[in-house]
Amino acid sequence: GAADETTTEEILQGGLTIGATYYIRVYDYAHGSDLHNFDICVTEGFIAPPPANDLCEDVTPSDLTVGGSVTFSGNNIGATDTEGLGEPNVWHAFTITECADLVIDYCGTDPAFGNGFTALFIGCPNESDITADSFDATTCPDGNFSLFYNSVPAGTYYYAVMLDPANGAEGEYTINVAASAAVVPCPEVPANDMCMDAMMLTAGMDCVPTTFSTAGATQDLDPITCGGFTSPDALDVFFTFVATSETHEITVNGFEAADAVLELLEGDCGSLVSLACADATFPGSADETTTEEILQGGLTIGATYYVRVYDYAHGSDLHNFDICVTEGFIAPPPVNDLCEDVTPVDLALGASVAFTGNNIGATDTEGLGEPNVWHAFTITECADLVIDYCGTDPAFGNGFTALHIGCPSEGTITADSFDATTCPDGNFSLFYNSVPPGTYYYAVMLDPQNGAEGDYTINVTANTAVVPCPDAPANDMCAGAMMLTSNLTCMTTAFTTAGATQDLAPILCNGFTSPDALDVYFTFVATAEEHTITVNGFAGADAVLEFFTGDCNNLVAVGCTDDTFPASGTEDAQEVMVQSGLEIGTTYTVRVYDYAHGSDLHNFDICVTGDIFESITENNASDWSIFPNPANGTFNIQYAGESGLGNVEVFDVAGRTVYAERAQLNNGAVRTIELNGVSAGSYTVRITMNGVQTAQRLLVD
């Protein structure tokens, strides 16, 4: 929390092999402190055996009557997280035989626990959970937590006691569970709560809705990920219908904020296979009605299909819905559904082209995340481009902002800006600055939920670029890679990715993937088994480095670096990559791009450092020697070469200078180097005399 604060990290590791050697890696997060000073120790440790109630399967549920309570006590030290809750835990369980309001409290736990789970689990292993309706730290007079659950149905429930030493939830505890008559009675379980009891629906030409509720439902299947979201529970009900057409549409309306998740399945209840799902809408208020739809083709006439519905997070008050199944129609894909099916149109400076079409029936063959259709154009000069939807009626409420290079896409150019005001009818306009000559593809999105569906008009206008397009760098392609020379110290070479194109797709590095990779290439010949590549990005340039073996026709990615991020458009950021196990004399390739091509100028410099193996071997201490070596900081150089004025330099493994002097070196003389205060490790001593450099290794204890 402060610049003078000391923090501690610990690893308690079991399962080690006595006599085996293990390695420990330490680094300063973001290299963010001033001095980067630490201490470290290794001790023999002890891992407590898991408690007897470490697994939910090892506990016996206690009977809990309405008006009564049960008390559980134990010690959670040594707990594991076998059930995957995210924190180590131990278990207790109880059974109620009628609907009840429950209170679970930690009153009497001393010291008070500072963390805990809020969920009651149904089944072991967990089939579902019930989240506390509320909790506080005031009901218990000693400051412990109390959890309140309303209208809990009869059943057996499991509660996990968290082990969290960092928040004081460790050691002996007391858990009290009290049951009282439910203020609000529990709803009856729906007749179609389980798959085997699914309600039969009849498919027709028109929607004839059937009302239902998920109030009182239990979870038969796990919640699914649909539309990018996963409900914490799935208190579901089931329906079936017999297909009367190859295409059917299932429609569910959720009333008063009921947020339906809709799933279509085939097979039987013992082996259901999911075909499709819908979770595209979200109620914005407590009285809003939302609709989910599945339009599914490829069905077998006469076959029985299942429909599953649940209220996302069981979050509404009443959980009321209606449902219908109708015979549907799936439009064939438009003629421009695939980018390969469009012919680029020539676009001259000062001119515009208009594309029209209809995106109903579009697919997402290219994997953009939404269905789409395509148009393309070619410019022969650098241009500022405007792509607008002016004239599209009704106005589209969503669209892609990227121009694609090539089909299939080899890269993208993202709009520099966009608005919904330039078009007088409220449609979007996209603005692209300094676009190089080439052929570009634009995808028109199909998004019915946001009104981007049906007939459209797309206008593309090309104007003379206000800012001229930069020339492509000479090392834009792997075949034109710039040769770098490895040095003992960092000898930087300036470069830019301005004007670069994408030769290879962007990579996932350090958990992030740039939307594009407008890359340049470098090569170097290894002079040692380990080299360090350093790239500095200036004024917001955010370098991504990738290291390859092989030639341009057969590049093999070995590693990447994307550890830093400039916090502003004026900040510099440095990426450092250390590659070991290299073969001396072999050529390696380095690729660099500016993440998202996001800086203004895309300016960098690069250097490669490492030992000069040949110099060390050839010299072989014939002209000078170092003693004692290793030593703890004081070294002597015995010089046996030609007398004269020379430079004596010492570098660390990253090529940084830790000692330098210009001195008279006389044949037969001894010169002392004081390296007191230098960290222990391997260093390189270089002497430059009459323009000739020789080097030897040095080890500081």
What integer pLDDT is reported at residue 139 of this predicted model? 97
As a whole number, mean pLDDT of residues 61-86 equals 95
Q: How far is CA 78 from CA 82, 88, 92, 118, 186, in A?
A: 12, 8, 16, 21, 38
pLDDT for 691 beyond 80? no
Q: How far is CA 313 from CA 70, 219, 282, 582, in A?
A: 29, 12, 12, 54
Please give the Cα distance from 414 to 224 (Å, whole number): 33
Contact indicator for 577, 589 with CB cutoff of 8 Å = no
- Which token pair is 323? 């449902």
pLDDT band at 618 (very low <50, low <70, confident <90, very high): very low
As a whole number, mean pLDDT of residues 495-505 equals 90
- pTM of this structure: 0.45
What integer pLDDT is reported at residue 613 of this predicted model? 56
Backbone angles phi, psi at 480, to 5 degrees: -105, 25
What integer pLDDT is reported at residue 126 of this predicted model? 78
What is the per-residue DSSP string for 117-162?
--EEEETTTT-EEEE-SEEESSSSTTS--EEEEEEEPSEEEEEEEE
Please give the Cα distance from 461 to 129 (Å, whole number): 56
b/e per residue 616-654 (b: at least 16 CB within 10 A): beebeeebbebeeeebeeebebebebeeeebebbbbbbe
What is the per-residue DSSP string for 445-500?
E-BGGGTB-SEEEEEEEEEE-SSPPPPPPTTSSGGGPEEE--BSS---EEEE-TT-
DSSP state, residue 298: S
What integer pLDDT is reported at residue 373 of this predicted model? 98
Q: How many other C-beta atoms can be found within 10 angstroms of the C-beta atom of residue 700?
A: 20
Please give the Cα distance from 5 to 65 (Å, whole number): 52
Q: Can you tell me whether residue 564 is helix, strand or coil?
A: coil
pLDDT for 61 beyond 60? yes
CA-nearest of 330, 389, 385, 340 to 362 is 330
pLDDT for 187 beyond 70? yes
pLDDT for 316 beyond 50? yes
Q: How far is CA 212 from CA 148, 233, 295, 322, 592, in A?
A: 28, 19, 21, 6, 58
CA-nearest of 207, 201, 389 to 308 is 201
Cα-only R_g, the chain: 34
pLDDT band at 427 (very low <50, low <70, confident <90, very high): very high
As a whole number, mean pLDDT of residues 154-180 equals 95
pLDDT band at 615 (very low <50, low <70, confident <90, very high): very low
> Using one digit for the tens of pLDDT, what is the confidence trace for 561-612?
999 999 888 999 999 999 999 998 899 999 999 998 888 889 999 999 987 6
Residue with tokens 């300094």: 434
Domains of the chain: 1-186 (2.60.120.380), 195-215+222-327 (2.60.120.380), 339-464 (2.60.120), 478-609 (2.60.120.380), 613-700 (2.60.40.3080)
> Using one digit for the tens of pLDDT, what is the confidence trace for 242-271?
999 999 999 999 999 999 999 999 999 999
Please give the Cα distance from 469 to 447 (Å, whole number): 34
CA-nearest of 633, 636, 634, 641 to 693 is 641
CA-nearest of 641, 621, 619 to 629 is 621
Contact indicator for 165, 88 with CB cutoff of 8 Å = no
As a whole number, mean pLDDT of residues 656-661 equals 82
DSSP state, residue 667: T
Share of the chain above pLDDT 90, in %: 66
Burial of 572 (0-12, 13-18, 19+ CB in 10 A): middle
Share of the chain above pLDDT 70, in %: 97
Please give the Cα distance from 615 to 129 (Å, whole number): 68
The average confidence (pLDDT) of the chain is 91
What integer pLDDT is reported at residue 6 of this predicted model? 79
Please give the Cα distance from 520 to 541 (Å, whole number): 14
Residue with tokens 């000078």: 624
540: left (phi over 0), alpha (psi -120 to 50) or beta: left
> Using one digit for the tens of pLDDT, what is the confidence trace for 127-139?
778 889 999 999 9
pLDDT for 655 beyond 70? no
> Using one digit for the tens of pLDDT, what is the confidence trace for 381-422?
999 999 999 999 999 999 999 999 888 887 788 899 999 999
Contact indicator for 499, 472 with CB cutoff of 8 Å = yes
CA-nearest of 118, 146, 116 to 132 is 118
Q: Facing residues of 463 across strands?
A: 384
pLDDT for 654 beyond 70? no
As a whole number, mean pLDDT of residues 459-476 equals 93
Contact indicator for 566, 521 with CB cutoff of 8 Å = no
- Which token pair is 36? 């980067």
Give the strand order in the sheet containing 624-627: 624-627, 634-639, 670-674
What separation, in Å, do the N-terminal and C-terminal C-alpha atoms of the chain show?
34
DSSP state, residue 613: H
CA-nearest of 410, 407, 408, 465 to 432 is 465
> Using one digit for the tens of pLDDT, what is the confidence trace for 213-242?
999 898 899 899 998 899 878 999 999 999
Query: Quick one: three-class SS letters along 195-218?
Result: HHHCEEECCECCCCCEEEECCCCC
Q: Can you tell me whether residue 306 is helix, strand or coil?
A: strand
What integer pLDDT is reported at residue 697 of this predicted model? 82
CA-nearest of 67, 53, 69, 248 to 158 is 53
More reliable by pLDDT, 359 or 3: 359
Contact indicator for 502, 518 with CB cutoff of 8 Å = yes
- The dihedral formed by the CA atoms of 118, 123, 129 and 134, expressed in degrees to the nearest 10: -40
Contact indicator for 370, 394 with CB cutoff of 8 Å = no
What integer pLDDT is reported at residue 619 of this predicted model? 40
